[in-house]
Amino acid sequence: MAPTTPPPRKTRKDFQRLAEIRAKEAATLAKTGNQQGAYYLAGFSIECALKACIAKKTRRHDFPADKDYATKVYTHNLDQLLKLAHLEAQLYEDMKTRPQLANNWNIVRDWNVGCRYESSGLGGKEMTLAVNSPDGLLQWIKLHW
């Protein structure tokens, strides 16, 4: 068996593109009634958007000196990604004057990658609105990516 080449690393632009694609897919699924798919993809769009912010903070061709940091960025935990993107303080500051942003973060932050195995009980429409609305998380993150 021939050795396989690892897939190319994702760039900031890749993550930005993925975030927007997944958010649109989530909106489409929510409209068609697929709440579980909408929920998963909406949350995944925020994961990709935060990873775009993290990628913005790295210099091209620089390998992270901190091994623990390099391992941490491969998480699906949105709270941890928010911290690694150095956006936590800004989000909490902005939420003080934008209550809908705060409501949206409270909806989105509970997302986890394991929800892709759920078959019921996920609020796809609510999650999609929390991501895609004018005061949604994706719009807010785009200001920083």
Mean pLDDT, range 44-70, rounded to an integer = 82
Cα–Cα distance, 145 to 143 (Å, whole number): 6
Mean pLDDT, range 76-100, rounded to an integer = 97
Mean pLDDT, range 10-32, rounded to an integer = 96
* pLDDT value of residue 104: 98
More confident residue, 92 or 73: 92
Burial label for 12, CB within 10 Å (0-12, 13-18, 19+), is middle
Buried residues in 62-75 as b, exposed as e (16+ CB within 10 A): eeeeeeeeeebbee
Mean pLDDT, range 104-117, rounded to an integer = 93
Does 56 score more than 80 pLDDT? yes
* pLDDT value of residue 119: 79
Q: What single letter denotes the amino acid at residue 118? A: E
CA distances from 54 to 48, 51, 95 (A): 10, 5, 21
Q: What is the number of alpha carbons within 13 Å of residue 66 lying toward its C-beta? A: 6
Mean pLDDT, range 117-143, rounded to an integer = 94
Largest CA distance in the chain: 59
Hey, how many other C-beta atoms are within 10 angstroms of the C-beta on 5? 6
* pLDDT value of residue 27: 97
Which residue, 8, 9, 48, is CA-closest to 25? 48
